[in-house]
Structure 1
Amino acid sequence: MFKTKIGEFDGNSWEAFCQQCFRLKYETEGYQYMPAINGDYGIEGFTRTGLVFQCYCPDNNTDANTLYEAQRDKITKDLSKLELYEKPLSVYLAGCAIKTWIFVTPEYRKKELVKHCRTKADEHKKLNLSILDPDFDVLIHDLDNFTKEVPVVLNYLNRGIDISPDEIDDNQHLLWKNTSISLVDNANRKNKMLLNTNAINPEQKIDLLTTLTIKNK
């Protein structure tokens, strides 16, 4: 299992989580889920605006170099499927050219992965595949690309945030505060009542009080 700031995932649970995020974030762009039965053709969903998505979650938490190598190899392998399955993909895409292939992973730690994506995008543009837009690009998205969708999906999946308050940073405290966790809701409500309404930067002070409340629970 791979530990993230919102809990632990394996490949299946990460894809299930991502699919819900995609449906929310790209609903107005006609998001379409692609079941992986008999192969995923290198994409696990796409929009009618030319975005396609491939999810990947490492088996466990590793050092930056090992993580980079696993993610790099996964990107290379799945992008190769665009050429291999060009014909069947064209049927599903129905004339919609792929503008951006997005690799969705919990986190990445080395900027070299961005460079690898750029290299692979250039390589694939030279293949002149019928399903690719002339300006085809390859991007990486991680959890922080779905900050608005995460609380909604966690609530929908009835999944608690499985992390220790002593181990989370300021951004993660904010995520706790904005999700529908009763502890945080109660702390926010009580701290707003305690704080002087004429205080300077009241929201900042409420956030600080809530953080301290969480840590002391």
Structure 2
Amino acid sequence: MDQSMHGLIGLSGAEWQDLCTRVLRMHHGADLVVVPDKGGDHGLEAYTLSGHLFQCYSPTEPLSTQKRYEKQREKTTKDVGKFIDNSDKLKKLFGEHVKINRWIIMCPYIDSKDLAAHCAAQTKRVREARLEYADPDIHVICQTMEDYEFSYKKVVNAQLARMHLPPLAEPDYSSVDSAGVDRMREKLGKVHSLRDESRRSDYVRRLLYSYLNSQEFRAYIKDHYTEIHALLESELDDLEQRLVMEFVLDNSRAATQLQKVLTETEKRVKECAPDTASGDSRTLAQGQVAEWLMRCPLDFYEDLAS
């Protein structure tokens, strides 16, 4: 799976449906007909005039491969059933000129070949129903966003071009876990230039300011820019793995290592959201580094300088 798409796993049903709709609009243009939720459950989100029907499904994660498959299988079975049973509604919906030839369930992640086999069984089921609005050679298939990679990236780029974050507010420092702050303070004491207590206290306060505001930023991004949130979280998770596996082997001075991590984190943020103001990018990066310091993926060797 493309790294930028890995963060799509775990989107809520509403978030996934919204993303699918925008990507499908980009891909199919005026050929796409979106079916509103109001007015009855038709068991589909959209269809095209050329005969492709879409049902979007994102199960609540985390799940094992088997559990994910079981939920996807049950959803497919249930909604194919609606496609067969709701004949009066669907005949009116599709009219005389649309014949469905692809019934498609779109999921953020498919990691079991059994779902394709189940879709083949559902194909047989639909064909045997001999529906007026279904092509005799209809297929039930499963897809992910990788099947629409070009359109997905165009949607992401469109979001990037208009991304704006709300202004910063003075955060509530009392909400931060005191044990995490003590952990951060202890680690920063290994940085030679921060051994002075007042200087280190000021640095900790600035990091906490960024940490709390970055949490607000990331919540806002999740609510307003789903694709950017998925990409950002995926990139930061990847960088955390580097902290655990690579930076821990770095025996350079603590100040050098801290600067390297800050720079690399801000670089990743800017790559995910290049239109973001520099100050906001720094806030997101510094907030993430503060979290790593409190949560333990990031630590330093003691500086030998006295």
User: Aligning the two structures, in what range does the TM-score lie when normalised by the shorter sequence?
Assistant: 0.7 to 0.9
Q: Does 1:182 align with 2:183?
A: no
Cα distance in 2, alignment partners of residues 85 and 134 from structure 1: 18
Q: CA RMSD in A?
A: 2.3
**Counterpart AA for 2:65:** A
Of all paired residues, the percent bearing the same amino acid is 25
Cα distance in 1, alignment partners of residues 43 and 141 from structure 2: 14
Give CA-to-partner distance per residue, 1:54-78, whole Å, 9 cap, x none. 0000111210000000000000000
Q: TM-score, normalised by structure 1?
A: 0.72
Aligned to 2:238: 165
Which SS does the other structure have where 1:65 is aligned?
helix
The counterpart of 1:154, out of the listed 146, 153, 156, is 156
The structure-2 alpha-carbon separation of the partners of 1:71 and 1:167, relative to structure 1 and needing over 3 Å to count, comes to: farther
CA shift for structure 1 position 42: 1.5
Question: Which entry has the higher C-alpha Rg, 1 or 2?
Answer: 2
> Map of 1:1-217 to 2, 5 A cutoff?
5-7=6-8, 8-27=10-29, 30-95=31-96, 96-157=98-159, 158=163, 159=225, 160=228, 161=231, 162-163=233-234, 164-166=237-239, 181-182=273-274
**Counterpart AA for 2:145:** L
Q: TM-score, normalised by structure 2?
A: 0.52
Give CA-to-partner distance per residue, 1:122-153, whole Å, 9 cap, x none. 11101111111000101111021121122232
The answer to whether the Cα contact below 8 Å between 1:155 and 1:180 also exists between their aligned partners in 2 is no
Give CA-to-partner distance per residue, 1:156-201, whole Å, 9 cap, x none. 4542222223379xxxxxxx9xx87429xxxxxxxxxxxxxxxxxx
Which SS does the other structure have where 2:129 is aligned?
coil
Cα distance in 2, alignment partners of residues 110 and 72 from structure 1: 10
The structure-2 alpha-carbon separation of the partners of 1:47 and 1:167, relative to structure 1 and needing over 3 Å to count, comes to: farther
Cα distance in 1, alignment partners of residues 239 and 87 from structure 2: 49
* More strand as a share of residues: 1
Which SS does the other structure have where 2:66 is aligned?
helix
Cα distance in 2, alignment partners of residues 117 and 82 from structure 1: 14
CA shift for structure 1 position 38: 3.6
